[in-house]
Amino acid sequence: MKMNHFLSIADYSEPELMHILDVSIQLKKELKSGGNKPILRGKSMALVFQKASLRTRVSFEMGMQQLGGYAFYLSPDEIGLGKREAVKDIAQVLAGYVDAIMARVFKHEHIVELAKYAGIPVINGLSDYNHPCQGMADVMTILEEFGTLKGINVAFVGDGNNVAVSLMHACTKMGANFSIANPAGYDMPENAISMAKDFSTISGSSLHFSNDPYEVVKNAQVIYTDTWVSMGQEAESETRLKIFKPYQVNQELLSTAPKEAIVMHCLPSHRGQEITDEVQDGPQSRVFPEAHNRLHAQKGIMACLLADM
């Protein structure tokens, strides 16, 4: 499969996304049975960070290492993306040093600009619009749990943020039914919803939007939540904590869902806010297997980008 960049799940068809997942699952099995082949030997990747992240940094560094390549971290102070130096200049400089760029940024347009000028593969490690690597880890986790994505009911409870956008696009591309319950005024972008409607028409999945968390979880096999206050929204903390309080994923809410329902969270979680300890540490939680799948899903993406798998 030939890929140029990985900026958005929306850029790929269902067969292409399933191919990436198949590669990810294959690499996960290989790692557990004795180690991966060094298919990225001699390849290097720059990890450009505007936002800090435990999972993104460690999973990309270890993923490249396990596949025989090399990744190195560039902090916000070292780069000053779009401030100290123009994005297009950074892209062209790095293209002369490395084989790929992973960037975790505030503004989605910075990811798009890096891809436009770099001339080498660019991976979106998170932007204010979407989080496609997380989305691939999410659907990989669902696929491992249920054996399929077709017809699985996925309910997102909370803010219509970047994580919700990628999860919605992954579900509607791959035939899972997606519902979201969020407070009024905290919806996903209209353009993201419009694309999801088109994807669902093709895949046969359904979309449902609500302000009632109990409504969306009553038939859900997957209940997903995320932080109420993302990086860059700290000034809104007091307001958001009040508005989102009814959207906590707790045992009371979980008890109204089907018995086979699993709970997911992209992490970091704010225990006692969007999710309780009882749920995150409970038997229905798949939060940590989901986090571990960031490594495997991203290895699949890197393999398809840099090894033409």
What residues are annotated to the active site? Answer: 104, 131, 134, 226, 266, 294
Q: Do 99 and 77 contact (CB within 8 A), yes or no?
A: no
Q: Would you say 143 is a known binding-site residue?
A: no
Q: Would you say 221 is a known binding-site residue?
A: no
Give the HSE-up count for residue 138: Cα atoms under 13 Å, Cβ half-sphere: 32
Q: How many other CB atoms sit within 10 Å of the CB of residue 201?
A: 11
Q: Would you say 195 is a known binding-site residue?
A: no
Q: Would you say 230 is a known binding-site residue?
A: yes
Phi, psi of 222 (to 5 degrees): -130, 125
Largest CA distance in the chain: 55
Phi, psi of 210 (to 5 degrees): -150, 165
Calpha distance 272→253 (Å, rounded): 14
DSSP conformation class of 247: G
Q: Would you say 131 is a known binding-site residue?
A: yes
Q: Do 228 and 158 contact (CB within 8 A), yes or no?
A: yes
Give 122's strand partners.
Answer: 101
Q: Would you say 104 is a known binding-site residue?
A: yes
> Which one-letter amino acid corresponds to residue 298?
Q
Q: Would you say 133 is a known binding-site residue?
A: yes
163 CB-contact burial (10 Å; exposed 0-12 / middle 13-18 / buried 19+)? buried
Q: Do 142 and 155 contact (CB within 8 A), yes or no?
A: no
Q: Would you say 294 is a known binding-site residue?
A: yes
Q: How many other CB atoms sit within 10 Å of the CB of residue 209?
A: 14
Phi, psi of 13 (to 5 degrees): -80, 170
* Binding-site sequence positions for carbamoyl phosphate: 104, 131-134, 266-267, 294
* Binding-site sequence positions for L-ornithine: 162, 226, 230-231
* Binding-site sequence positions: 104, 131-134, 162, 226, 230-231, 266-267, 294
